[in-house]
Amino acid sequence: MKRVIIIVLDGVGVGELPDAASYGDVGTNTLSHVIAAVGGLELPHLANLGLGNIPGVEGIPQESRPGASYGRMAERGAGKDSTAGHWELAGLIVEHPFPTYPEGFPKDLVHEFEARIGRKVLGNFPCSGTEILVQLGEEHLTTGRPILYTSADSVFQIAAHEEVIALGELYRMCEAARAMLTGEHAVARVIARPFVGPPGRFERTAKRRDFSLVPHGPTLLSLAAATGMRVLAIGKVFDLYAGHGITAHLPSKGNTQTIELLRQALAGDTAESAPGEIIIANLVDFDTLYGHRNDAEGFARALREFDDALPALLDGLRESDLLMITADHGNDPTTPGTDHTREHVPLLVCGPPYGGGTQETRVRAGCDLGLRTTFADLGATCAAYLQITPPSAGESFLEEIIK
């Protein structure tokens, strides 16, 4: 049985896109700038696959005989958020940017939200998730009013202390917002941001939930599920696709747990009656904990953690497996802002490190896949490998990588 494994390194971009100026992201290069900021970084296993061979990647040596095929991909769709990036990876391009609110949400929209939840809100302006708690956390404790804020991304975020507003109530508030935010106000994600602790020591918890838009068309995932294939999502992937096309879901609290769940999934038994399987995992900490907080040191530690775990993941590959390692956007922690950055993303493609498989499943190493003009080429290639109907966008590079 053929399996496709997609690992999304959330926010690990590899250099500005040609239209980066339109997004205020000229000169960004998440991976290279993190490496430079920490004075160099050894990622031997990613280097062996060919990460340093990708144009735009600096600080990682090129490999004369890389263990994977390699390239980079440009986002064809609008925006630079996780939802648009993940949808495009699965072959669904967002043609028009999701709405953003640099001045906060319109008063009539806020009033409607307040009427739906039966409470007044605090905030309603763009802010980082940690700074908003510094500014409004104590007032929230005394008033019980949820904190509403946004960012440069298309998000409607609601923060609440778990001892003031119970998690279930916070999630219901987000569901009310999701139902309300349609048409011109159809933001990409409504996000529940629970936190704990006393004033001065507020801490956001891992009980965050994203309430995303439903994909507006078929994706690689839904097309695979329609054929009876198993589609396993690990981490925040389930939320980004609003559950559509996903047949099994493993929640995760961060990179360490996601990597372990992925290792277990690779080793686990899959029903042989299934015609194929997709496993897609998102490593969120690069973005959430480090990119958004301008923490290059933490970002580097997370890269080393993934690199250290890579051999075990590769050893878990079976002879008919196809592994894709990529990202969904950039999030350069060395820039003055704290938001996503409009960048190319890396592309590493390989099979099991010890060969095997049939003529239809042996993956060629060392193939330069060049610059792909859309993330959707990944989804098209996965569909061709699994022999299912391809998504509407993207061009398969399967013939270039199968021996």
Mean pLDDT of 280-290: 96
Domain end, chosen from 181, 212, 243, is at 212
Phi, psi of 133 (to 5 degrees): -70, -35
> Residues 276, 395: one domain?
yes
- Structure confidence by residue, pLDDT tens digits, 361-387: 688 999 999 999 999 999 999 999 999
**Residue closest to 50 by CA, chosen among 8, 86, 14, 90:** 14
> Residues 220, 202: one domain?
no
> Residues 54, 169: one domain?
no
90: domain CATH number is 3.40.720.10
* Confidence (pLDDT) at 353: 79
| Distance, CA of 101 to CA of 207 (rounded, Å) | 25
| Distance, CA of 150 to CA of 190 (rounded, Å) | 10
* Confidence (pLDDT) at 5: 98
> Residues 187, 332: one domain?
no
> Residues 42, 189: one domain?
no
**Is position 23 within any domain?**
yes
* Confidence (pLDDT) at 271: 53
**Residue closest to 11 by CA, chosen among 331, 290, 297, 334:** 331
**How many CB atoms neighbour CB 164 within 10 A?**
17
- Per the prediction, the chain carries an average pLDDT of 95
Query: Long-range contacts: 235-238, Cβ < 8 Å, 24+?
Result: 235/261, 235/281, 235/282, 235/283, 235/284, 236/10, 236/82, 236/210, 236/282, 236/284, 237/8, 237/86, 237/280, 237/281, 237/282
**Is position 101 within any domain?**
no
Confidence class for position 85, pLDDT limits 50, 70, 90: very high
| Distance, CA of 279 to CA of 301 (rounded, Å) | 25
Q: For 53, which DSSP code?
A: G
Domain holding 143, by residue range, is 107-212
* Confidence (pLDDT) at 362: 81
> Residues 158, 223: one domain?
no
- DSSP calls for 343-400: B-EEEEEE--TT--S-TTTPBPSS-EEEEES-THHHHHHHHHHHTSPPPSS----HHH
Q: Is the pLDDT of residue 272 over 80?
A: no
> Residues 373, 395: one domain?
yes
The count of C-alpha atoms lying within 13 angstroms of the C-alpha of 261, restricted to the half-sphere facing its C-beta, is: 22
> Residues 218, 264: one domain?
yes
> Residues 207, 276: one domain?
no
Q: Is the pLDDT of residue 355 over 70?
A: no
* Confidence (pLDDT) at 273: 66
Secondary structure (3-state) at 225: helix
**Is position 287 within any domain?**
yes
> Residues 54, 179: one domain?
no
> Residues 184, 272: one domain?
no
User: What's the total number of domains in the chain?
Assistant: 2
> Residues 64, 127: one domain?
no
Q: Is the pLDDT of residue 316 over 90?
A: yes
136: domain CATH number is 3.30.70.1250
* Confidence (pLDDT) at 338: 87
Q: Is the pLDDT of residue 263 over 80?
A: yes
Matching residue, tokens 């609440």: 160
**Is position 163 within any domain?**
yes
Domain end, chosen from 183, 212, 241, is at 212
**Is position 194 within any domain?**
yes
Q: Picking from 29-38, 95-104, 105-114, 388-397, which range would have the lowest pLDDT averaged per residue?
A: 95-104
* Confidence (pLDDT) at 268: 85
**Is position 102 within any domain?**
no
Length of the chain counted residue by residue? 403
Secondary structure (3-state) at 219: coil
Question: Is the distance from CB of 278 to CB of 231 less than 8 angstroms?
Answer: yes
- The per-type count for the chain, helices as H runs and strands as E runs, is 13, 14
Domain end, chosen from 212, 242, 271, is at 212
- Structure confidence by residue, pLDDT tens digits, 100-147: 999 999 999 999 999 999 999 999 999 989 999 999 999 999 999 999
The partner residues of 230 in beta bridges, in order of sequence, read 277
| Distance, CA of 124 to CA of 106 (rounded, Å) | 9
Q: Is the pLDDT of residue 165 over 90?
A: yes
Mean pLDDT of 344-359: 82
**Is position 316 within any domain?**
yes
